[in-house]
Amino acid sequence: MAQETVGVEADFTSREAAHAAKNRLVRAGFARNSIDIDRHGDTYIVHLPTQEANRQRAARILRGRTMIENAKSTGWAAADTLGSNRLLTLGLAALAGFALYSLTNRR
């Protein structure tokens, strides 16, 4: 019994936005090698063949807000930088402690 597939597509104005959508789909569990990005003029089209049961979820992920995704990726990059650089983490902790001490010690 073969599963029927349907195509889900979304148009993007930049290559970066199309790749961000592809990365969102991959993080959500869709296979990276089944997601295609085609260029038609100034538009990039992300196409994903999926089962009917997953069509709405894939469409919702493709419509995801880019600002939220950018904030998430920036946050994760900052956390990775802090986690890999102990001296920077220690310096920021000391700076935060000094700032809190200065704020609470005012008369």
Amino acid at 25: L
Q: Is the pLDDT of residue 3 over 80?
A: no
Query: In the prediction, which pLDDT does 37 show?
Result: 95
Query: In the prediction, which pLDDT does 66 show?
Result: 57
Query: In the prediction, which pLDDT does 69 show?
Result: 63
Token pair 């880019």 is found at 66
For 12-71, the pLDDT digits (tens) are 888 988 998 899 899 989 999 999 999 999 999 999 999 999 898 898 888 876 566 667
Domain ranges in the chain? 5-64
- Rounded Cα distance, 38 and 57, in Å: 21
Q: Helices (DSSP H) in the chain: which residue ranges?
A: 15-27, 55-62, 66-84, 86-104
**CATH number of 5-64: 3.30.1070, 3.40.50, 3.30.70, 3.20.20?**
3.30.70
Residue among 46, 63, 61 nearest 7 (CA):
46
- Rounded Cα distance, 41 and 9, in Å: 16
Please tell me the pTM assigned to this model: 0.57
Could you tell me the pLDDT band of residue 5, with boundaries at 50, 70 and 90?
confident
Amino acid at 57: R
For 76-98, the pLDDT digits (tens) are 778 777 778 888 888 888 999 99
Query: In the prediction, which pLDDT does 77 show?
Result: 79
Could you tell me the pLDDT band of residue 107, with boundaries at 50, 70 and 90?
low
Cβ distance 66 to 12 under 8 Å?
Answer: no
- Rounded Cα distance, 9 and 56, in Å: 11
